[in-house]
Amino acid sequence: MRRKIVVGNWKMNKTVAESRELASGVLAALGTSCSACEVGLAPTFLALDTVRHVLEGSAVALAAQNCHYEDDGAYTGEVSAPMLQAVGCGYVILGHSERRQYFGETDETVNLRIKKVLEKGMKVILCVGETLEEREAGSFEAVVSSQVKGGLKDVAGVSDIVIAYEPVWAIGTGKTASSEQAQEVHAIIRRKVAELYGADAAEAIRIQYGGSVKPSNAAELFSMPDIDGGLIGGAALKADDFAAIVRAAC
Ligand code: 13P
Question: What is the predicted pLDDT for the residue at 216?
Answer: 97
Domain ranges in the chain are: 5-249
Question: What is the predicted pLDDT for the residue at 33?
Answer: 64
State which amino acid sits at residue 79. V
Measured CA distances, 229 to 29, 50, 81, 182 (Å): 18, 26, 25, 12
> Are the C-beta atoms of residues 8 and 211 closer than 8 Å to each other?
no
Q: For residue 148, give the nearest of 114, 183, 192, 118 by alpha carbon.
A: 192
> Span 12-18, mean pLDDT?
98
> Span 93-103, mean pLDDT?
97
Q: Tell me the average pLDDT of the chain.
A: 96
Q: Which fold has domain 5-249?
A: TIM Barrel (3.20.20)
Is 166 among the residues known to form the active site? yes
pLDDT in tens, 114-149: 999 999 999 999 999 999 999 999 999 999 999 999
- Check whether 32 has a pLDDT greater than 80: no
Question: What is the predicted pLDDT for the residue at 5?
Answer: 98
Q: Is 171 in the pocket of ligand 1 (CB under 6 A)?
A: yes
> Span 153-172, mean pLDDT?
96
How far is 170 from 211, CA to CA, in rounded Å? 5
Q: What is the pTM of this model?
A: 0.97
Tell me the best of 6, 10, 166, 175 to mutate to test the pocket of ligand 1, counting ligand atoms within 8 Å of each CB and taking the most. Answer: 166
Between the CA of 100 and the centroid of ligand 1 the distance, in Å, is 14
- Check whether 221 has a pLDDT greater than 90: yes
Q: How many residues does the chain have?
A: 250
Percent of the chain exceeding pLDDT 70 equals 99
- Check whether 94 has a pLDDT greater than 70: yes
* Catalytic position from the list 38, 68, 96, 186: 96
Percent of the chain exceeding pLDDT 90 equals 94
Could you tell me which residues are beta bridge partners of residue 80? 68
Q: Is 167 in the pocket of ligand 1 (CB under 6 A)?
A: no
Question: What is the predicted pLDDT for the residue at 184?
Answer: 97
> Span 5-31, mean pLDDT?
97
> Are the C-beta atoms of residues 87 and 56 closer than 8 Å to each other?
no
pLDDT in tens, 189-213: 999 999 999 999 999 999 999 999 9
Between the CA of 233 and the centroid of ligand 1 the distance, in Å, is 3
